[in-house]
Amino acid sequence: MNILILGSGGREHSLAWAVLQNPKCDRLIVAPGNAGIAQIADCSSLDVENPAAVCEFAAENSIDFVIVGPEAPLAAGVVDMLRDAGFLAFGPTRDAAQLEASKTFTKEVCDAAGAPTAAWARFTDAATARAYIRERGAPIVVKADGLAAGKGVTVAMDVDAALAAIDDMFSGAFGAAGAEVVIEEFMGGEEASFFVLCDGETCLPIGTAQDHKRAFDGDAGPNTGGMGAYSPAPILTQALQDKAMAEIIEPTMAEMARRGAPYTGVLYAGLMIADGQPRLVEYNARFGDPECQVLMMRLGGQALDLMLACAEGRLSDAQVNWADDHAMTVVMAARGYPGAYDKGSVIKGLGELPETSSEMVFHAGTTAKDGAITATGGRVLNVTARGPDLQSARDLAYSMADRIDWPEGFFRKDIGWRALE
């Protein structure tokens, strides 16, 4: 079959890599892709947030299956229009993607579903929000309602920080995303990510992972899109996964169907675990990045069969063939990220690294220029490895990272510390 993947990050490189291992894939196009993806698939500069353009492209290229990587095309309604035009697509409709696009929507769905999450309140003016924060005290969490590229959340450890976040949000720092603000109870505990395929009726867990959001070692520095991940997440034991399915995921999916917006695609549940109880931090309507890279390294070619079963509503017959393996990815980012960084530096040494089912460097912000790979984004490479245990996956990933010659880049040296402690 002819497959189109939308996106340009490490997530999409790992999706492309996994899909290509499946003999069902005859031709793969990735739009817009990056320099690493271009080494294994055709890339196109299609505008992926324009549903009509995506449909036209799919028709012109006889595409049989479209896999949507990032949230923006989902929120733009790409899956809705593809389905209306008769294409098979992996991802939620715009209405179902509200589970990521709107925090208040998600909170209302969780309340209706009885899914455990932080207590919350919604505000549309700064004065009432400030009064609420003073009454509640800290720690407390302030969130812009809409999509804010992962930057719309302030976990305030004191009242002043929470008040400052309110001022930021109502001053327009997040545009329309900040016009409505959610203030939440602070939840302590350990965070983990749980990935579940949903076809509107059946839910199938496909893996757990833990991300590292802070820029520097020891979980110091500013928040980022994620500096490294591993799978599985040991804290999410089978018992906790079962509990999360029964108390959070299944009731949410039932509530979405009841609202006439059945959820299809991968549901990424960010969970907070404390005292043996999982609570929902947030949903995302897509794979995590870099979590996808470790999930794909573990699933390999069966990822395509699972995504097809999901899109075709056949999850009740699908199953995951688990291997007893562990994967880790270490993100190499441009110095300065997540703040300002230079673009255009040359990365050397990639050609000498092995590319096997257990060792891959997935590209994110890279461009090929004059025969060289250059860095053109904040997060640039995902050095990913697999092994029989987490320590061996980690040793392999770091030995690869050390062989990449890119003085303008940096990476955390402590990915996996929680699980290996």
Q: Which residue from 9, 51, 207, 225 is in contact with ligand GLY, where contact means CB under 6 A?
A: 225
- Nearer to ligand AMP by C-beta: 64 or 108? 108
Q: Which residue from 291, 309, 338, 382 is in contact with ligand GLY, where contact means CB under 6 A?
A: 291
166 binds, among ligand AMP, ligand GLY, none (CB under 5 to 8 A by kind): none
Query: Among 39, 6, 31, which Cα is nearest to 368's?
Result: 39
Q: Under rule CB under 6 A, how many of the chain's residues touch ligand GLY?
A: 7
Q: Which residues contact 370 (CB under 8 A, 6 or more apart)?
A: none
226 binds, among ligand GLY, ligand AMP, none (CB under 5 to 8 A by kind): ligand GLY
225 binds, among ligand GLY, ligand AMP, none (CB under 5 to 8 A by kind): ligand GLY
- Nearer to ligand GLY by C-beta: 191 or 395? 191
Question: In angstroms, rounded to a whole number, what is the distance separating the alpha carbons of residues 3 and 20?
Answer: 10
Residue with tokens 């500013």: 222
Q: Under the rule (CB under 6 A), what is the footprint of ligand AMP?
A: 118, 141, 143, 153, 155, 184-187, 191, 270, 281-282
Shortest distance, position 92 Cβ to ligand AMP, whole Å: 18
Query: Among 379, 347, 374, which Cα is nearest to 227's?
Result: 379
Q: Is position 289 an interface residue for ligand GLY (rule: CB under 6 A)?
A: yes
Residues in the chain: 421
289 binds, among ligand AMP, ligand GLY, none (CB under 5 to 8 A by kind): ligand GLY
Question: In angstroms, rounded to a whole number, what is the distance separating the alpha carbons of residues 32 and 46?
Answer: 6
Q: What phi and psi, each to the nearest 5 degrees, are found at residue 251?
A: -65, -35
- Nearer to ligand AMP by C-beta: 155 or 159? 155
Q: What phi and psi, each to the nearest 5 degrees, are found at residue 184?
A: -125, 150
Stretch that binds ligand GLY, among 119-127, 136-144, 283-291, 408-416 (CB under 6 A): 283-291
Q: Is position 288 an interface residue for ligand GLY (rule: CB under 6 A)?
A: yes
- Percentages helix, strand, coil for the chain (3-state, rounded to 5) are 35, 30, 35
Q: Which residue from 33, 36, 207, 226 is in contact with ligand GLY, where contact means CB under 6 A?
A: 226
* Contact status, residue 368 vs residue 38, Cβ threshold 8 Å: yes
Q: What residues form DSSP beta bridges with 367?
A: 374
- Nearer to ligand GLY by C-beta: 116 or 288? 288
Paired tokens of 103: 């925090």
Q: Is position 211 an interface residue for ligand GLY (rule: CB under 6 A)?
A: yes
- Nearer to ligand GLY by C-beta: 5 or 63? 5
- Nearer to ligand GLY by C-beta: 71 or 199? 71
- Nearer to ligand AMP by C-beta: 18 or 118? 118
Stretch that binds ligand GLY, among 74-82, 180-188, 285-293, 396-404 (CB under 6 A): 285-293
- Nearer to ligand AMP by C-beta: 18 or 187? 187
Widest distance between CA atoms in the chain? 60
- Nearer to ligand GLY by C-beta: 116 or 225? 225
Q: Is position 152 an interface residue for ligand GLY (rule: CB under 6 A)?
A: no
Stretch that binds ligand GLY, among 85-93, 287-295, 351-359, 397-405 (CB under 6 A): 287-295
Q: Is position 282 an interface residue for ligand GLY (rule: CB under 6 A)?
A: no
Return contacts of 23-28, CB within 8 angstroms, 24+ apart: 23/301, 24/304, 24/305, 24/308, 25/1, 25/304, 26/1, 26/2, 27/2, 27/3, 28/2, 28/3, 28/4
**How far are the Cα atoms of 146, 169, 253, 328, 351 from residue 75, in angstroms, in the given order?**
11, 21, 18, 30, 37
Question: In angstroms, rounded to a whole number, what is the distance separating the alpha carbons of residues 412 and 330?
Answer: 7
Inter-axis angle of helices 302-311 and 291-299, nearest 10: 110
Positions in the binding site for ligand GLY (CB under 6 A): 211, 225-226, 284, 288-289, 291
